[in-house]
Amino acid sequence: MIRHTVAFRLKHPRGSADEKAFLDAGKALADIPGVEKFERLNQVSPKNDFHFGYSMEFADQKAYDAYNDHPLHVAYVRDRWIPEVEAFLEIDYTPLA
Amino acid sequence: MIRHTVAFRLKHPRGSADEKAFLDAGKALADIPGVEKFERLNQVSPKNDFHFGYSMEFADQKAYDAYNDHPLHVAYVRDRWIPEVEAFLEIDYTPLA
């Protein structure tokens, strides 16, 4: 299992319609084959500057790679992520044996 | 629900006995009251410099605060975390309504 997480901050004002539209569009990522346990999250720690997070799990690296290369993901990164995200950090976890 | 996560890198060499001892000691955090779904994780993304992660969930802020103030947690931070951790980032999530 690989848990892919990304914490991020948007260019949009907090609570704006643009913010809501971005987060709503993110739901589509859950439908890409291989994506399990998709979550949209608020980031609430004052110890970093991110406001939101996405978390999803993949069975293995092959499923993760297929997600990265999937046309829906590629289009999402191009059309929503790059234009609307101000800063982000990807953190990926596997269980410690 | 609040999911408390921390990604971190140790001062110890990778694969060392000191690294193993640190990670083994971390298991004790799972026994602190209020801690749910405790996980010790490998951080595997090349897009950040952390090597490990802990993740746990709390029912609410009161349970999270009680964990932070618990003598076992305070001692762990003082005796293991501060001396042995080189860098870390706390990220806390709640479900997006």
pLDDT tens sequence across B41-51: 999 999 999 99
pLDDT tens sequence across A14-31: 999 999 999 999 999 999
Instruction: Check residue B97 and give its pLDDT.
Output: 75
Contact, A75 vs A28, CB < 8 A? no
Q: Which tokens hold the place of A32?
A: 């890409």
- Split at pLDDT 50, 70, 90, the class of A94 is very high
Residue A50: phi, psi to the nearest 5?
-90, 155
Sorted by sequence, the CB contacts under 8 Å of residue B28 that are 6+ apart come out as B72, B76
pLDDT tens sequence across B7-51: 999 999 999 999 999 999 999 999 999 999 999 999 999 999 999
Average pLDDT over residues A65-94: 98
Instruction: Check residue B96 and give its pLDDT.
Output: 95
DSSP state letter for B56: E
- Which residue bears the tokens 């790679």? A65
> Chain B, 24-43: which have a CB under 8 Å from a chain A CB?
39-43
User: Looking at the complex, does the CB of residue A94 fall below 8 Å from at least one CB of chain B?
Assistant: yes
Q: Model ipTM? A: 0.95
- Split at pLDDT 50, 70, 90, the class of A61 is very high
What's the distance, CA B29 to chain centroid?
8
User: Looking at the complex, does the CB of residue A96 fall below 8 Å from at least one CB of chain B?
Assistant: yes
Between the CA of residue B28 and those of A54, A88, B1, what are the distances in Å? Answer: 28, 31, 21
Instruction: Check residue A92 and give its pLDDT.
Output: 98
Average pLDDT over residues B48-68: 98
Measured between beta carbons, which residues in chain A are less than 8 angstroms from residue B45?
4, 90-92
Residue type, B27: K
Residue type, A2: I
A94–B42 C-beta distance less than 8 A: yes
Which among A3, A43, A91 is the nearest to B50, CB-wise? Answer: A91
Q: What is the percentage of chain A residues whose pLDDT exceeds 70?
A: 100
pLDDT reading at A75 higher than 80: yes
Which among B23, B41, B89 is the nearest to A48, CB-wise? Answer: B89
Q: Which tokens hold the place of B10?
A: 């140790």
Instruction: Check residue A97 and give its pLDDT.
Output: 74
Measured between beta carbons, which residues in chain A are less than 8 angstroms from residue B47?
89-90
Residue type, B65: D
pLDDT tens sequence across B69-95: 999 999 999 999 999 999 999 999 999
